Chains A and B, each alone.
Chain A
Amino acid sequence: MQALVIVAHGSHLNPDSSTPTQRHADTIRATGAFDEVKTGFWKEEPSLREVLRTVESEEVYVVPLFISEGYFTEQVIPRELRLDGWDVSQWDSDGLNADTATLVAEDTGQTVHYCGPVGTHESMTDVVVRRAETVTGDPDVGPGFGLAVVGHGTERNENSAKAIEYHAERVRESGRFDEVRALYMDEEPEVDDVTDHFESEDIVVVPLFVADGFHTQEDIPEDMGLTDDYRTGYDVPAEVDGHRIWYAGAVGTEALMADVVLERAADAGADIEDAIASVREETRETPAAGD
């Protein structure tokens, strides 16, 4: 038997924090690719300390629903899961290419394939683009549009900016959008001045966050001038300085995220090709091009 465990931060205050995690787990569960699919949280239950004992399988793929490599993926999760002998060097990563390490959980004896976070996987770029399609309702969005990928910045974790840059660069290389920029909340170039960074009239703004919360629902919309008060909401698109801003909200809420979770598990050796193909199709919220 093989199980998938998606681990995420969760929240004591915001019930929506874990919703995307649950939804992606449901999507994957429906494919039947794993005998069990469970979720574990730092701030909710089952806790990271106890999630593995809720899993019957002897072989477990653990995928962190985090945006970047850092404190949580390198220290907190392996410690709380009690992965015996974990050392971050097992990922042999420069901050962007953690893939997998196979360890034994001390308390349960299960074999755990501990994967890198979803946020740095190359297929995450597709989710950013899919998010742009969803928010504009246009499966071919790109020509005539600018795209901003938004992150925290380096203040708390230098790898966070690396992930933003990485996906922005990959979208840029694809040539699909007229302009692509990486913008940050707490460093230059700042998301506050989003319109200064684009010539295109239409700008899709995709925050690289796992779940919606304070930053994506309050800070960023107010900083960009979409609204004076987040409680009154904002239009999509919203007019700012002669540009139309298509604000997408957290990329992690996009259904295609389930695919990245699967890709992580597949890279770690899970045999789930068919599930990947079906999830890619079924999570599309706009009609596929040509439909």
Chain B
Amino acid sequence: MRGEQFDALVRRLDERPIDFDGLCAEWDGDGYAFETPDRTHEGLSQAGLHEAAANAEPYVTNWYFWEADVGHEGRHRRAFLRKLEAADERSVPERYDALETGMETEWGQLRITATLGDAGERRYEVRHEDDAGADVDALEAHEDPLDARDIATYDEKERYRPLKTAPTLVNGWVFPALDGRDLTETVDTFYPATIANWNLEREGELDVSHWEETMERQSGIYSVIQTWNRGEGKEHVEWVAESCCDDSQCLKRREWQYDEETELDAPGGDGAFPCREPCSLVVAAARKWTRLEGEESRTYEFELTPSEKEQVEDIIGAVADGRVDDVREADIYEGANRYRTRFLRAKRFDENGNLSGTPTEPEEETDGAGEGGDN
């Protein structure tokens, strides 16, 4: 216990009593009362208070950490930091024991480890979950929370990641020793607003905007999406949620539904943090789908062998699951293999790129007065 920590305790008791995380203390005009779950003291002089505090040091340094270091300004930050050491479930000695070796929390693809520094200070380490067992020296060390911006910009194939919560965060880095404020800043840079939304949900205040109202709100080029909702049930929204919001695509747990009354069947996912409304990527995709889905189905005739039909399904599966790059060069057993696919194209496409030579727009054959050509 540092001198300034004890001084802060005395100053605080001059103003008002303390009742926090198992520590109760007050000044009653004659002496100090000081109580922890193990011991009760009353009528203490300041020297007596010092001795009692020194004997219950974890309670005092813990109080000081949450009072002076964390403070009450950032409600979501405070709640998040308390979650990292299960502060609402575990006693101070239990936490101090566990923090000695480190308490771990998974947050999306992040792995956060809280440990104890000097005199009750907390230190936080953040790394990628895939680097859980890696030697810290083998990882690229960062101090500035904003470095997370660069780490999060591209995936391992150097492709831009417009959706921060896509499960494509690269690994190989570590923020070895952050304080509470920098930790929240780092997490919030990797996964913006997830701490606030998690805490709002925890407190029963998450403001979910469902699909219908979100699309209602759109204007300009996005207002067209409203037309997609007219009398078509919610199946189209199921497809959107299944395509974009599945845990394989996005680590947020989708809490928005079709509307207040109509839940979607698509799984929302198991993420630690909620998604409170369709994001801008989903809105942009929905605009495109609104247009595409305005088309009527037609019947086309294609010639395919049974294996070719299955190959088409394989190719769609590989693209949809992002497996294209995993198909080995010479693995001609895979339908989505490049040689197999090129063979299919060579055999089944005509010179205009039409599958089975079937044009996309059939020639209008209106009583022999057709104009010819594709319309």
Contact stretch, chosen from A71-79, A118-126, A133-141, A222-230: A71-79
Contact stretch, chosen from A11-19, A61-69, A91-99, A187-195: A11-19
A54 in contact with B284 given A13-B160, A44-B162 (CB within 8 Å): no
Asked whether, in the complex, the Cβ of A50 is within 8 Å of the Cβ of B280, the reply is: no
CB neighbours of A45 from chain B (8 A): 163-165, 192-193, 279
Asked whether, in the complex, the Cβ of B196 is within 8 Å of the Cβ of A75, the reply is: no
Count the A residues whose beta carbon is within 8 Å of the partner chain — how many?
25
Asked whether, in the complex, the Cβ of A79 is within 8 Å of the Cβ of B193, the reply is: no
Asked whether, in the complex, the Cβ of B164 is within 8 Å of the Cβ of A53, the reply is: no
Task: Please give me the 5 A-B residue pairs with the lowest Cβ-Cβ distance, nearest first.
Answer: A46-B192, A50-B193, A53-B196, A45-B192, A12-B162
A-to-B contact residues, CB < 8 Å = 1, 11-15, 22, 26, 42-47, 49-51, 53-54, 56, 71, 75-76, 79, 107
Provide the bound-state CA to CA distance between A107 and B280, in Å: 19
What would 5 A/B residue contacts be, using CB atoms closer than 8 Å? A26-B146, A50-B197, A54-B192, A75-B219, A79-B219
CB neighbours of A76 from chain B (8 A): 219-220
Q: Please, what's the 1-or-0 string for B271-311, where 1 marks a CB less than 8 Å from any CB in chain A?
A: 00000110111001000000000000000000000000000
Provide the bound-state CA to CA distance between A213 and B149, in Å: 20
Q: How large is the interface on B (under 10, 10 to 19, 20 to 34, 35 or more residues)?
A: 20 to 34
Q: Which residue of A lies closest to B73 (CB)?
A: A56
Question: Which among A1, A15, A22, A26 is the interface contact of B160 at CB below 8 angstroms?
Answer: A15
B246 at the interface (CB under 8 A from A): no
A43 in contact with B73 given A12-B281, A49-B277, A76-B219 (CB within 8 Å): no
B-to-A contact residues, CB < 8 Å = 73-77, 146, 149, 153-154, 160, 162-165, 188, 192-193, 195-197, 200, 207, 209, 217, 219-220, 276-277, 279-281, 284
A51 in contact with B219 given A15-B154, A56-B74, A107-B207 (CB within 8 Å): no
**Distance (whole angstroms) from the CB of A253 to the closest CB of chain B:** 17
CB neighbours of A46 from chain B (8 A): 188, 192-193
CB neighbours of B219 from chain A (8 A): 75-76, 79
Question: Which among B77, B165, B197, B277 is the interface contact of A56 at CB below 8 angstroms?
Answer: B77
**Distance (whole angstroms) from the CB of B25 to the closest CB of chain A:** 28
CB neighbours of B77 from chain A (8 A): 56
CB neighbours of A26 from chain B (8 A): 146
Question: Which among A11, A54, A79 is the interface contact of B196 at CB below 8 angstroms?
Answer: A54
**Distance (whole angstroms) from the CB of A134 to the closest CB of chain B:** 24
Asked whether, in the complex, the Cβ of B160 is within 8 Å of the Cβ of A50, the reply is: no
**Distance (whole angstroms) from the CB of B277 to the closest CB of chain A:** 7
Asked whether, in the complex, the Cβ of A51 is within 8 Å of the Cβ of B74, the reply is: no
CB neighbours of B165 from chain A (8 A): 45
**Distance (whole angstroms) from the CB of B134 to the closest CB of chain A:** 27
CB neighbours of A15 from chain B (8 A): 153-154, 160
Asked whether, in the complex, the Cβ of B280 is within 8 Å of the Cβ of A12, the reply is: yes
Asked whether, in the complex, the Cβ of B160 is within 8 Å of the Cβ of A54, the reply is: no
A53 in contact with B280 given A1-B73, A13-B162, A79-B217 (CB within 8 Å): no
Asked whether, in the complex, the Cβ of A42 is within 8 Å of the Cβ of B280, the reply is: yes
Question: Which among A11, A14, A50, A71 is the interface contact of B192 at CB below 8 angstroms?
Answer: A50
Provide the bound-state CA to CA distance between A1 and B154, in Å: 34
Among A42, A50, A107: residue with most chain B CB under 10 A: A50
Q: Which residue of A lies closest to B217 (CB)?
A: A79
Q: Which residue of B lies closest to A26 (CB)?
A: B146
CB neighbours of A49 from chain B (8 A): 209, 277
Provide the bound-state CA to CA distance between A96 and B349, in Å: 56
Provide the bound-state CA to CA distance between A43 and B281, in Å: 7
Among A13, A22, A43: residue with most chain B CB under 10 A: A43
Among A22, A45, A107: residue with most chain B CB under 10 A: A45
**Distance (whole angstroms) from the CB of A217 to the closest CB of chain B:** 16
Q: Which residue of B lies closest to A48 (CB)?
A: B280
Question: Which among B76, B149, B154, B217 is the interface contact of A53 at CB below 8 angstroms?
Answer: B76
Provide the bound-state CA to CA distance between A12 and B164, in Å: 11
